[in-house]
Chains A and B, each alone.
Chain A
């Protein structure tokens, strides 16, 4: 049996017949159409694309921390807040990083990405369902009973307004499904969702689980809906081309 690592290389076949001229003309026409902001964003080096998306997540988090920080910050144990913020930020950034990274061809990555998506969900739910960090009123009972929906809706709006621009930017920077294994596409809404939850964790002092589920984790619903709509439109456009 052969034990060599090196495979005989195939020599390139010169295109003497000109049979590829039409195809090359089509490609040149495609490249000519690659103009405008969207095309420039897609063509950015991946390190820069990742830096922009991560920068936007951190910008939103920083703005909310600076302008409207949670009012129970002095009661919340530092270590726990840091841990929760670090977990949300790290998962959000890593989702964006993987989503926007260059092309990889490896079906073995698919189970890994499925595991990562599950991990994102588990960490987010763990933060939501952990016992309250402190037992001080009014934070403990706020946003419950008749105030459940108004408070949850307010947080949902804040989280969504932070998550959707991130999702929009990520999708503008994206070069399309041809460059990724299928499940990787799910990392776009996951990253945006966790970015939205990060903002809420910095801003909202309400500790009730029902509020956290509806108002914080619930950001996933509008983010997923918008993502599914955009993906559907993108797919329909690709199929029509």
Chain B
């Protein structure tokens, strides 16, 4: 399979089919990203449209030796944040954990709800790392690329977020190991 980076490189050279392939690879997952905290498919698709337009405008800036995924996510999350700012909402407060991904375990469902509330109380910089790690499936080095920081600094933010969320959950009485399963993945 041709890599994203190779496809982007081809698009830089004017290959429209490569752009179509990148769109097909990333549109579904970016739509899910846009829908998180938005729940409006039309708006999500508008934001997706803006994301790919920005990708087109910024195509000359893409360095083919850099990973494509953090680059397009940086654009997409900026577009999303810009939308929330425009309509006067805080995207971070609207973070949601997809209940479908929790297999119906009541303990985990409850933990997900409480976790969402705990995440919403985090400072923006920590919340961003949590969002990218948990919800977008980025590794810490990739997150560093997205936020323009170092790997070490991102791990520090994740660790602080982990401690803060854990303290919040413990204050709320969420202490069962099963309920904290999600949180464990964040501990660097």
Residues of A within 8 A of B (CB): 1-3, 5-10, 12-15, 20, 23-24, 26-27, 30-31, 34, 39, 42-46, 102-109, 175-180, 182, 235, 238-239
CA of A104 to CA of B144 in the docked complex: distance in angstroms? 11
A-B contact pairs, 5 of them (CB 8 A): A12-B26, A15-B28, A30-B49, A39-B57, A108-B149
Contacts of B24 in A (CB 8 A): 14-15, 20
Cβ-neighbour of A179 out of B75, B86, B140 (below 8 A):
B75
Contacts of B45 in A (CB 8 A): 23
CA of A6 to CA of B48 in the docked complex: distance in angstroms? 27
Contacts of A180 in B (CB 8 A): 78
Contacts of B54 in A (CB 8 A): 103, 175-176, 178-179
Q: Are A109 and B148 in contact (CB under 8 A)?
A: yes
CA of A45 to CA of B26 in the docked complex: distance in angstroms? 23
CA of A220 to CA of B86 in the docked complex: distance in angstroms? 26
Contacts of B29 in A (CB 8 A): 10, 12-13
The size of the chain B interface, using a CB distance under 8 A, is 49
Q: Are A13 and B137 in contact (CB under 8 A)?
A: no
Q: How far is the CB of B153 from chain A (nearest CB, A)?
A: 9
Besides A9-B137, A24-B20, A103-B78, 9 more A-B contacts (Cβ < 8 Å) are A5-B140, A7-B133, A12-B29, A13-B29, A27-B23, A30-B52, A46-B61, A107-B125, A178-B78
Q: How far is the CB of A235 from chain B (nearest CB, A)?
A: 8
Q: Are A105 and B74 in contact (CB under 8 A)?
A: yes
Q: Are A6 and B139 in contact (CB under 8 A)?
A: yes
Question: Taking the complex as formed, is B8 at the interface, i.e. its CB lies under 8 A from any CB of chain A?
Answer: no
Cβ-neighbour of A177 out of B49, B82, B184 (below 8 A):
B82
Q: Are B23 and A2 in contact (CB under 8 A)?
A: no
Q: How far is the CB of A110 from chain B (nearest CB, A)?
A: 8
Pairs A-B, 4 closest by C-beta atoms: A107-B124, A1-B187, A15-B24, A178-B82
